[in-house]
Structure 1
């Protein structure tokens, strides 16, 4: 027995010496979800002794709410570069929280540049004109909230597609996401169906931006979008019918009639509330105070349009992507604020600091406040759970 004990002690001593002085190697990890969608901007490097286990807890620190699908990852004699898949750590809890939340939001997260000091450079890559396969690395993110100010991210598996400017709606048991330039839907936030949406021939070179779902006063569904006309070469707002049974955008685009219409209008958000259609959009002809509000008795107009005097503060030169939350006489407006650093004609000089909101009180917009979220929210849409 003494001999066996001595051998065990010797083995433990040699093992300890190995891990104390043994060779080290690196594992460089890229983080993706079960669908292969990127979860964080940069890969992470880990160093450990050859033969040691890379602990799952270390990996989970980089992607809170997720856990690796592969648990046994060992340091080898050579350095490794791995793309690891992660799944929701508590899927049922995530879905339960989403269902019970008062509001659900959709945004996109640029995956090529980090957020620094609260600001993120826009990785301009013609994502606004893409066909869903080229350019950009922008991942869909879904959020939920009970007050519209404090948001949590839904830690699930997202569609592997580059997208911007998502609009979200729940129709007939499906969660639909329409974006520049594509359409997907899901029932479980695990598997996603990509729906065909053909380019509309009346617009220039796929210049079809920021589509949003619209429900009219009769309960029918439509899509509003900014498109560059082949006739005028300007951006105007158009509406098409949408069939929620088939997920088809009809492409029967009709131009919205605006009074005092600018040459270029984009980022439309339309709701029917208090007996009126209320339209917010961005006036691209102006250098500042670009957000406008318009009202009409009819979905296609004519709309009575007025520029809004919203104080963006000293840090912002502009705002876009207006999204209204209307409840009775209460109105909250969310906007995507930005600034220029350098020549504003260079698209790579645009920096965003996340979603802000203002409220209309006694005919005046309050000072901007920033929402709370674990990610920097860009061009946001909101859905009120029913």
Structure 2
């Protein structure tokens, strides 16, 4: 009887482990020329590079063939969908999909802003909107002269605003529309749903007359419009960009690139109001830049990366 009890406990433990979660982080290194990198964690604080830090996918989309700021989500179709920045100065983004995060579909260039006199399409992200059963892609773009009041407040000629487009199949897209404009240059937005409210974490990209370069929050009842004015900064006295958010139980962890310090940082909160800087607890792979955190099951982890 004792023998069978031990076997039963082993089976239960094994099934529980397979039902558990593993956190993944998609990121790039250097200028993004070698493509997609992935890291994993089971506690959200210590991250280890997969495949010994080697690239999972070499970039082929766009003229400059970079893969910066990769964002991955798992859709209701069971596929992992990824978008990324293909260039510093092209008008579209890259897209590919995968069943297992290892083998990817042919890469495609999506010309989201080719109809505009745009300078760029930076740091695209994806959310799935269950209400409309569509994916929403959103990104930062500068259109010279569109917002003249802040033309000299950013870095050089860049004066970004956030834009979005909807798609059901990543083939047909709605006309891009303005997502966030509160009178300052803004990039690197990421959106999370919380009890019927949408929370946008964003970077205030203002450099002049006084640098901001911090992460703030805005909220809305709708995923695609009516976001509030930004909160006070949730990051500290350093330049931060590329926020990515992990909801771990009741705890919210916001990761970001302390790009001037050449390291990653994070803050955490249980109420989205009071934030604790936990940068000293975060261990990331060397060279990791502007990534996106997402979750897979333990079973998927063991299957994909065995």
Q: Give the whole-Å Cα distance in 1 for the aligned partners of 2:197 and 2:221.
A: 5
Q: Which has the larger radius of gyration?
A: 1
1:297-356 deviation line (CA, Å, top 9, x unaligned): 01222111223334535xxx30001112235643211111122xxxxxxxxxxx522x22
Contact 2:36-2:55 within 8 A present in 1 as well: no
Question: 5+ residue gaps in structure 1?
Answer: 1-96, 111-122, 124-135, 340-350
Q: What is the aligned partner in structure 1 of residue 137 from structure 2?
A: 223
1:177 matches 2:75: no
Cα separation, partners in 2 of 1:217 and 1:179, compared to 1, 3 Å: same
Q: Give the whole-Å Cα distance in 2 for the aligned partners of 1:153 and 1:190.
A: 18
Q: What is the aligned partner in structure 2 of residue 338 from structure 1?
A: 259
Contact 2:34-2:58 within 8 A present in 1 as well: no
Q: TM-score, normalised by structure 1?
A: 0.57
Give the count of matched residue pairs: 247
Q: State the Cα distance separating 1:366 from its structure 2 match.
A: 0.7
Question: 5+ residue gaps in structure 2?
Answer: 1-16, 60-65, 86-92, 148-158, 298-306
1:106 matches 2:26: yes
CA RMSD of aligned residues (A): 2.8
Higher strand share: 1
Which of the residues 137, 142, 145 maps onto 2:41?
A: 145
Q: What is the aligned partner in structure 2 of residue 211 from structure 1?
A: 124
Q: What is the aligned partner in structure 2 of residue 64 from structure 1?
A: none
Q: What is the aligned partner in structure 2 of residue 304 from structure 1?
A: 228
1:202-245 deviation line (CA, Å, top 9, x unaligned): 444451110001122525321111112355163111111132xx
Q: Aligned with 2:57: secondary structure?
A: coil
Which of the residues 219, 225, 247 maps onto 1:295?
A: 219
1:360 matches 2:269: yes
1:239 matches 2:164: yes
Contact 1:357-1:369 within 8 A present in 2 as well: yes
Mapping 1:1-386, distance limit 5 Å: 101-110=21-30, 137-155=33-51, 158-161=56-59, 162-171=66-75, 172-180=77-85, 181-188=93-100, 189-218=102-131, 219-232=133-146, 234-243=159-168, 246-248=169-171, 250=173, 252-258=175-181, 261-286=182-207, 287-288=211-212, 290-312=214-236, 317-326=238-247, 329-339=250-260, 352-353=262-263, 355-361=264-270, 363-370=273-280, 371-385=282-296
Contact 1:333-1:359 within 8 A present in 2 as well: yes
Q: Give the whole-Å Cα distance in 2 for the aligned partners of 1:186 and 1:289.
A: 34
User: Which protein has greater RCO, CA pairs closer than 8 Å, 6+ apart?
Assistant: 2
Cα separation, partners in 2 of 1:329 and 1:306, compared to 1, 3 Å: farther
Q: State the Cα distance separating 1:168 from its structure 2 match.
A: 0.6
Contact 1:295-1:304 within 8 A present in 2 as well: yes
Q: Give the whole-Å Cα distance in 1 for the aligned partners of 2:278 and 2:213.
A: 13
